[in-house]
């Protein structure tokens, strides 16, 4: 069949019933659409729906977010692993190596770490030809080892680097001892003799067991002297000061020479005299114990034979470092941990324990939580439940959010000026005038530090509490009001219980931040050394006006203020590990309380 222009045309398909199709009649099947025209050259091609562009599917942002999360997890994990590893191995006893240098000198110490360094030209000029060739063969780099040599009173240094090209021989003699002392740090060397009651016992004439027995008796004498001087004489001094303040109080109230003043002096005189006699008796007891203690000395010698004589009671711990078995090493390791957790610091905080800092950190955090929780919750309740929403409330919320971004040192300056110099000074004038000019509350202390950190963390609690209150369904409030409850009954019995998990979350964040703050505490109460805890047997038993130690400040002090950063580095890692653990324990306790509240409320949903 041909068209009018003479071109051939395909025959039309037959209709479904099989008869020939009439002109203009459809065969019942859909007509095929005309083929699309070819796009012009250079025009952008349209993609099919099943093959979307890489960027339109979100893969770049997905990989960016996942990579950021992975990087954060890696950094946090790496930091925790570094702290845990260095903290856990710090107290493990190591061997003592005696290094013979090529010039004949001896260096004895505990290997701390090794590294590779490039010696300078001035060092290379001092080497012989063989050593210079060895350095050149290694590419100009040489390994060196840092030894903890101790004996600061002999060498004026605690650590020493020993390059490999200076070493002739390295030995580990079995008679080398690591001796921890109350003063001058550790001593590394040999025990040469024991002096007792004028007799000199050479090292071969007494066994290690006998020496340990003598050491236990010497430490018992030291503890006895310490108990007399600190506890018993301290109690007498407390009552003497109390008598003096009573007389001064009468003089301030009624005037010098008044009848009341003379009466107070007469009443105080016999008690003061009895206390002075008791003080003299206790001092005589301490002196007698010291005289016995002075008769027992230990003669030590370093690797080169240089001698040092000390009282046996000044030795905290000693052990033959190269002759210890696994059980002995574990005993030394755990005894060091026990000392760290239960004793006070010594040697400028680089040795000993941190019990005062543990107590100060925990007490300050608990007092801060007790202060910040009611103020934060009450403020959030008023802003969310009672205040008329408007411009003033918006300004208050903006101010609260801005307070969360104020540097912590600003809070420290405010706490020192307001709490210590204004509130504390007023308290001293009203209640402790007899102690002036020595301040009682008019200086930094545990109480002012806790209140300063409460101000620092209260915005966190307010914001978290508001969010928790807003998350309580409106239907719960309306149902309670419809049953006849008042607004306060609704808040107390319906809103607050359901919002308590969120409130606890804010309190956990506040505790975590407050426990780790250091800058404001440096102004309002924390000190380098406060060995006595703010707890004693005298009323009011807990003395919140006293200065205290803090683990965060202890880390700063040991790491950046000690005479030797290498000597303080182990204590930095151990204290950091302890601070992380303390915060984790307090947060875990708060999280357990929060989860218990969640389970209790989820069981009561309707």
548 and 402, same domain (yes or no): yes
Contacts of 515 (CB under 8 A, 6+ apart): 361, 364, 365, 552, 579, 582, 583, 586
Percent of the chain with pLDDT strictly greater than 90 = 53
Q: Is the pLDDT of residue 459 over 50?
A: yes
The token duo for 315 is: 């030795």
Please write the tens of the pLDDT for every residue from 509-541.
Answer: 888 888 888 889 999 989 988 888 888 878 888
Residue 30, pLDDT score? 47
Indicate if 449 and 481 belong to the same structural domain: yes
Q: What secondary structure letter does DSSP report for 389?
A: P
Q: Is residue 92 predicted with pLDDT exceeding 80?
A: yes
Query: For residue 446, what are its two tokens?
Result: 């545990």
Beta bridge partners of 310: 298
The alpha helices in 348-437, defined as continuous H runs, are 355-381, 391-403, 408-414, 425-431
**Residue pair 448/524 in contact by the 8 Å Cβ criterion:** yes
Query: Are residues 276 and 136 part of one domain?
Result: no
Which whole number is the average pLDDT over 135-160?
A: 90
CATH number where 424 lies: 1.10.3720.10
In a domain, 275, yes or no: yes
- Given a contact cutoff of 8 angstroms between Cβ atoms, the answer to whether 175 and 320 are in contact is yes
Q: Is residue 249 part of a domain?
A: yes
Domain boundary among 294, 309, 328: 294
Note whether 135 and 265 are same-domain residues.
no
Q: What is the mean pLDDT of residues 182-211?
A: 88
Please give the structure tokens belonging to residue 1.
């069949």
Predicted local distance difference test score (pLDDT) of residue 605 = 47
pLDDT digits (tens, 9 = 90+) for 22-81: 554 545 444 555 555 555 555 555 555 455 565 566 677 888 888 999 999 999 999 999
- Range from 122-136, 203-217, 381-395, 493-507 carrying the lowest mean pLDDT: 122-136
Token duo for residue 134: 């060895």
Give the pLDDT confidence of 378-391 residue by residue, as tens digits.
999 999 988 888 88
> Do 327 and 250 reside in the same domain of the chain?
no
Q: Please say if the pLDDT value at position 84 is more than 50.
A: yes
Query: Which residue range is the domain that position 96 belongs to?
Result: 87-198+300-337
Same domain? 278 vs 314: no
Which residue do the tokens 């000019």 mark?
437
Same domain, 593 and 478: yes
Q: Is the pLDDT of residue 13 over 80?
A: no
- Number of folded domains that form the chain: 3
Phi/psi for 492 (5° steps) reads -70, -35
pLDDT at 351 over 60: yes
Cα separations in angstroms, 32 against 11, 35, 36, 99, 457:
15, 9, 12, 96, 74
Number of H helices, E strands in the chain: 19, 13
Average pLDDT of the chain to the nearest whole number: 86
pLDDT at residue 261 is higher than 80 = yes
pLDDT tens sequence across 411-434: 999 999 999 999 999 999 999 998
Are 462 and 402 members of one domain?
yes
Domain end, chosen from 337, 366, 394, is at 337
pTM: 0.83
In a domain, 427, yes or no: yes
> Are 477 and 585 found together in one domain?
yes
Is residue 213 domain-resident? yes
Average pLDDT of span 436-465: 92
Candidate ranges 126-140, 252-266, 559-573; pick with highest mean pLDDT: 252-266
Q: Higher-confidence residue: 125 or 439?
A: 439
Residue 181 is predicted with a pLDDT of: 94
Q: What is the mean pLDDT of residues 252-269?
A: 91
157 and 100 part of one domain = yes
Phi and psi angles of residue 251, each rounded to the nearest 5 degrees, phi first: -65, -40
Return the DSSP state at 506. Answer: H
Contact between 114 and 148 (Cβ < 8 Å): no
Q: What is the mean pLDDT of residues 358-385?
A: 91
Instruction: Please tell me whether residues 365 and 509 are part of one structural domain.
Output: yes
What is the chain's percent helix, strand, coil content, to nearest 5?
Answer: 55, 15, 30
204 shares a domain with 132: no
């Amino acid at each position: 069949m041909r068209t009018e222009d003479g071109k051939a045309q395909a025959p039309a398909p037959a209709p479904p019933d099989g008869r020939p199709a009439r002109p203009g009649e459809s065969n019942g099947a859909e007509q095929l659409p005309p083929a699309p025209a070819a796009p012009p050259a250079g025009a952008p091609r349209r993609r099919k729906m099943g093959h979307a562009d890489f960027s339109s599917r979100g893969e770049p942002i997905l990989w960016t977010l996942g990579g950021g999360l992975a990087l954060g997890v890696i950094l946090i994990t790496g930091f925790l692993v570094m702290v845990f590893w260095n903290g856990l191995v710090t107290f493990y006893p190591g061997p003592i190596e005696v290094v013979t240098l090529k010039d004949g000198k001896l260096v004895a110490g505990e290997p701390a770490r090794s590294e590779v360094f490039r010696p300078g030209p001035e060092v290379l000029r001092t080497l012989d030809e063989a050593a210079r060739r060895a350095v050149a063969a290694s590419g100009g780099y040489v390994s060196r080892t840092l030894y903890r040599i101790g004996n600061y009173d002999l060498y004026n240094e605690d650590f020493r680097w020993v390059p490999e090209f200076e070493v002739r021989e390295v030995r580990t003699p079995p008679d080398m001892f690591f001796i921890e002392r109350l003063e001058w740090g550790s001593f590394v060397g040999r025990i040469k003799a024991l002096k007792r009651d004028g007799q000199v016992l050479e090292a071969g004439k007494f066994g290690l067991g006998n020496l340990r027995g003598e050491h236990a008796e010497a430490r018992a004498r030291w503890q006895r002297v310490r108990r007399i001087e600190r506890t018993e004489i301290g109690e007498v001094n407390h009552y003497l000061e109390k008598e003096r303040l009573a007389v001064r109080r009468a003089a301030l109230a009624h005037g010098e020479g008044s009848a009341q003043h003379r009466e107070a002096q007469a009443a105080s005189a016999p008690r003061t005299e009895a206390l002075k006699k008791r003080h003299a008796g206790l001092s005589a007891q301490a002196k007698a114990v010291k005289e016995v203690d002075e008769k027992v000395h230990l003669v030590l010698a370093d690797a080169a034979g240089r001698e040092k004589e000390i009282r046996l009671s000044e030795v905290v711990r000693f052990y033959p470092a190269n002759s210890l078995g696994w059980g002995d090493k574990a005993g030394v390791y755990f005894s060091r941990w026990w000392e760290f957790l239960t004793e006070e610091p010594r040697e400028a905080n680089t040795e000993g324990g941190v019990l005062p800092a543990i107590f100060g950190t925990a007490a300050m955090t608990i007092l801060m939580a007790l202060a910040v929780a009611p103020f934060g919750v009450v403020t959030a309740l008023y802003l969310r439940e009672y205040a008329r929403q408007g411009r003033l409330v918006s300004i208050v919320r903006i101010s609260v959010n801005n307070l969360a971004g104020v540097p912590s040192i600003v809070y420290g300056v405010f706490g020192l000026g307001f709490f210590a110099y204004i509130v504390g000074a007023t308290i001293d004038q009203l209640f402790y005038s007899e102690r002036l000019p020595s301040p009682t509350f008019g200086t930094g202390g545990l109480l002012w530090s806790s209140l300063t950190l409460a101000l620092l963390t209260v915005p966190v609690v307010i914001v978290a509490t508001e969010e928790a209150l807003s998350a309580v369904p409106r239907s719960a409030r309306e149902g309670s009001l419809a049953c006849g409850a008042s607004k306060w009954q609704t808040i107390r019995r319906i809103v607050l219980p359901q919002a308590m998990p969120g409130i606890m979350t804010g309190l956990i964040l506040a505790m975590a931040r407050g426990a780790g703050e250091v800058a404001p505490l440096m102004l309002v109460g924390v000190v380098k050394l406060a060995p006595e805890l703010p707890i004693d047997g005298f009323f009011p038993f807990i003395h919140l006006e006293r200065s205290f130690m803090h683990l965060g400040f202890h880390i700063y002090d040991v790491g950046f203020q000690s005479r030797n950063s290498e000597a303080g580095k182990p204590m930095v890692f151990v204290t950091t590990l302890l601070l992380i653990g303390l915060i984790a324990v307090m947060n875990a306790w708060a999280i357990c309380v929060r989860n218990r509240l969640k389970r209790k409320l989820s069981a009561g949903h309707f």
